[in-house]
Amino acid sequence: MPHLREGFDVAIIGAGPAGSMAARYAAKAKARTLLLEEHSAVGWPVQCAGLLGLGAMAESELPGRSSVLQEMRGAAIFSPGGSRLDFKARAPRASVVDRRLFDRALACEALRAGAEMRLCSTVRGIRREGEESVLHLAGGEEIRASIVISAEGVRGRLARQAGIMPPEVILSGAQVEVPFSVEDPESVELHLGAAPGLFAWVIPTGEEAARIGLCARSRGWQHLQRFLGQEGIRERILGSATAINVGGLPLGPPART
């Protein structure tokens, strides 16, 4: 028989930014809140380019800037035909963040507000019993909650199980972090047409390092490998990749929630 714990007012699946912010506000509203994360650490694996505009940074409501690696003030945009457009603002317009530190800072704010978090807690299934939902954890434990929030990310397996349809499109994304000859550590590069209908990016994380990635309708990793071999990129790579991130990017809301 599964071990059934006492219930919570709110259970949130996934301790990414959305899950941690939901947990923080639920706890601030005096709801007994549980945040469930399937991995052994918050912020891993990284599935994001980590470039946040000033609005997104403000919405995170983080008191410090320990996760910020670099400030961005400009961009260089390259057309498929080789034309280039540069612009630069007087003040920073975006921040390059370490997503592991950023996500952990958000989770810590949720815990300070009174939420409880459990790591290595994979939710296998969900069922409805009266006014409550029952979550089935991988180890056989069951947890009751009046409200369940799926913040699982692009996969959303439990959201699908609950009847919420997937987003309209899921793009295939890929990114590497490499030692790189950066032209301007305060400017992002956007390369239009690097993947069919989409673009690639070069995001400096310092004077000699960058995140290079792209999104495509499919086969993002294959498109990225070709981009890394292009003239203007290949000769600026100064060494082997120090990180590889592959994931999906949802576009468009589900038709019905």
Establish how many alpha carbons lie within 13 A of residue 10's alpha carbon, considering only the half-sphere containing its beta carbon. 26
Q: What share of the chain is helix, strand, coil (3-state, %, to 5)?
A: 20, 40, 40
pLDDT at residue 257 in the model: 66
Q: List, for residues 187-197, the tens digit of each pLDDT value.
A: 999 999 888 77
Q: Where are the domains of the chain?
A: 8-46+101-161, 168-251
Question: For the CA atoms of 140, 146, 152, 157, what is the dihedral angle to 10 degrees?
Answer: 70
**Which amino acid is present at 217?**
R
Query: Model confidence over 94-116: pLDDT tens digits?
Result: 999 999 999 999 999 999 999 99
Radius of gyration of the chain (CA): 20
Helix axes 17-28, 99-112, angle to 10 degrees: 10
56 Cβ contact partners less than 8 Å away, ≥ 6 residues apart: none
- Element at 35 (helix H, strand E): strand 33-36
> Which SS3 state, helix, strand or coil, does residue 6 take?
coil
User: Tell me, what's the pLDDT at 251?
Assistant: 82
Residue 97 has what pLDDT? Answer: 93
- Of the two residues 45 and 151, the one the predictor is more confident about is 151
Q: Kindly report the backbone phi and psi dihedral angles of residue 164, in degrees, each rounded to the nearest multiple of 5, phi listed first.
A: -90, 125
Q: What is the pLDDT of residues 10-52, one digit of tens each?
A: 999 999 999 999 999 999 999 999 999 999 989 887 778 889 9
Homologous superfamily of 8-46+101-161 in CATH? FAD/NAD(P)-binding domain (3.50.50.60)
For 89-108, give the DSSP string: -SS--EEEE-HHHHHHHHHH
Residue 242 · residue 216 · CB < 8 Å: no
Same fold, 8-46+101-161 and 168-251: no
pLDDT digits (tens, 9 = 90+) for 69-84: 999 999 999 999 889 9
pTM of the predicted model, to two decimals? 0.86
Specify the 3-state DSSP secondary structure of 13: strand
**pLDDT at residue 5 greater than cutoff 70:** no
Class of domain 168-251: alpha beta
The model's pLDDT over 117-146, given as tens digits with 9 standing for 90+, comes to 999 999 998 888 888 999 999 888 999 999
Write out pLDDT tens, residues 205-240.
Answer: 989 999 999 999 888 999 999 999 999 999 999 999
Contacting residues for 227 by C-beta, under 8 A, at least 6 apart: 191, 194, 195, 200, 212, 214, 233
Distance CA 219, CA 252 (A): 20
- pLDDT given for residue 93 in this prediction: 93
Which helix (DSSP H) or strand (DSSP E) does residue 135 occupy?
strand 132-137
pLDDT at 105: 94
Q: In whole angstroms, give the CA distance from residue 255 to residue 253.
A: 6
The predicted pLDDT at position 194 comes to 87
Mean pLDDT (whole number) for 53-67: 89
